Structure 1
Amino acid sequence: MLVNADFSRRAAIAADRYEWVRSPQYGVERVMLDRVSAADGHEKARATSIVRYAAGSHFPRHTHDGGEEILVLSGCLSEGDRHYPAGWYLRNPPGSSHQPASEHGAVIFVKLRQMSRADTRTLRIDTHAPNAWIHDEGREICQLFSDDDEEVMLARLAAHEYVFVDAVAGAEMLVLDGELLADGTRLLQGGWLRLPAGMHRDVKAGARGVTLYLKTGAFRGLPEGVAR
């Protein structure tokens, strides 16, 4: 299955345009933001999704060959006796396994099979912790991950502040609060935007400011033949 699979083009989905579909696991639904399936069309795919767990739902233990990145948006996600309420960022490296569940329900932002094989770090970051945020060049950021190829953070921008001051190799944003404006597109909480390489001077916070999940860098995990 291909969803927003041409990474040389801008892609955007507003929260009021979400299309929830059932996953293979009972009680779990997802909105596919982008997806590039393996050649055999099997469930394993490079994918970015919003995933919704009903109360009491779970996945059996499984391994992520290409890693998994999670931001808990609402509710609480659990891994065994460890519980991650809204605001927690989880990064599970390639080859790691887990058994996620939610007793009372949860909504999470998930990126699958998009990590470098050299990435061996397991991260658990509470982005609501006051000491998780710093001031950097006039804006507040919560650094989540950085290497030679990509940078992942949460960022709080003031009203009408531009997101980018330099060209990027690629970028992806999820609006967590406030308003994002991009070339005539208005995205509120839950809105998602992916941008190809280039200078994107049209992307800025709205009148109320914006808090974003922001990833910049080259897109990883793309099969041969997929437009970058």
Structure 2
Amino acid sequence: MELNADFTRRAAVHAARLDWVASPMPGVERRMLDRIGGEVARATSIVRYAPGSRFSPHVHGGGEEFLVLEGTFQDEHGDFPAGSYVRNPPTSSHTPASAPGCTILVKLWQFDPADRTQVRLDSGGVAPVPAPGRPGVELVPLFRDAREEVRLERWAPGAEVALDLPGGLELLVLEGGFEEGGEAFGPWSWLRLPAGGRLVAEAGPEGARLWVKSGHLKDVLGLAASSHDPAASS
């Protein structure tokens, strides 16, 4: 399968409008945002766990990154409520489950192969800070290295957001919305802009809260070409 697999072009998906698609594991469904491959894939998805569902133990050969959107995600490392941000680097393993049910944004096989940095962060405990040079924007940092930056952003109502993107950008609306390129984005809308592009957007009357990743698309073609992750939580 190839879905939004041309990383040189703008891509947008309004995931709240999509049907849920069953995964190989009972009780686990997904809405796909981008994908290269079948069940073994470089993938970005919104994944929903029904109460009591679980996956078999597995190793993430290419790493896994996720943000808990609703409910509580669980594995042998603990319980991760909504707002939790987790990075399981290449070669890491776990047994994901959710007794109460949960929904997560998950990205597979998108790490530098040498990355071994583990992150388990409750973003609710991190105070937002003003974004330098960006009026009306506050940030909650989640992760940063030489390759990429991951953060939560809050845009004030009506804020005009303009940002050059030498390494590209990807975002998911968590609350509120914005307009970009003549298109309206609401909760669970996803936008990806290529390296060298520019974001020009205006927050809606309620403002917007977003998950944002930037910088990672400048070398994405090489990583995508070798995308084969045996992770079962795709």
1:222 aligns with 2:218: no
For 1:147, the equivalent position in structure 2 comes to 145
Contact 1:5 1:35 in 2 (8 A): yes
Output the CA distance in 1 between the equivalents of 2:215 and 2:51: 36
Q: Is 1:207 matched with 2:233?
A: no
SS in 2 for 1:6: coil
Q: Could you tell me whether the CA contact under 8 Å between 1:141 and 1:156 is conserved in 2?
A: yes
Where does residue 46 of structure 1 map in the other structure? 42
Aligned counterpart, 1:6: 6
Residues 153-172 of structure 1 correspond to what in structure 2 (within 5 A)?
153-172=151-170
- Give per-residue Cα distances to partners, 1:112-131, cap 9 Å, x unaligned: 000012211111111111x3
Let me know the Cα RMSD of the aligned residues: 1.6
1:136 corresponds to: 131
Q: Which has the higher helix share?
A: 2
SS across alignment from 1:16:
helix
Look up the match of 1:184. 182
Q: Normalising by structure 2, what TM-score?
A: 0.88
Q: Unaligned stretches of 5+ in structure 2?
A: 227-234
Structure-to-structure mapping, 1:65-84, within 5 angstroms: 65-80=61-76, 82-84=78-80
1:222 match: secondary structure: helix
Report sequence identity in percent. Answer: 48
Amino acid in the other structure paired with 1:94: P
- Report the secondary structure of 2:47's partner residue: strand
Offset at residue 206 of structure 1 (A): 1.7
Q: For residues 69-91 of structure 1, give each alpha carbon's deviation from its aligned partner in whole angstroms, at most 9, with x where no partner exists.
A: 01000011001261111110011
After TM superposition, the score normalised by the length of structure 1 is 0.90
User: Residue 168 of structure 2 contacts residue 197 of structure 2 at CA under 8 Å; is this kept in 1?
Assistant: no
Provide Cα deviations, 1:131-189, integer angstroms capped at 9, x if missing partner.
34322324321111111121110011112324433233211000011112111111111
Q: Who is 2:121 aligned against?
A: 125
Shift of 1:201: 4.3
State whether residues 165 and 215 of structure 2, in contact with CA within 8 Å, keep that contact through their aligned partners in structure 1. no
Tell me: CA distance 1:152–1:163, structure 2 relative to 1, closer, same or farther (3 Å): farther
Q: Which whole-Å CA distance do the structure 2 matches of 1:205 and 1:93 have between them? A: 34
Taking a change above 3 Å as real, the CA distance of residues 77 and 118 of structure 1, as seen in their structure-2 partners, is same
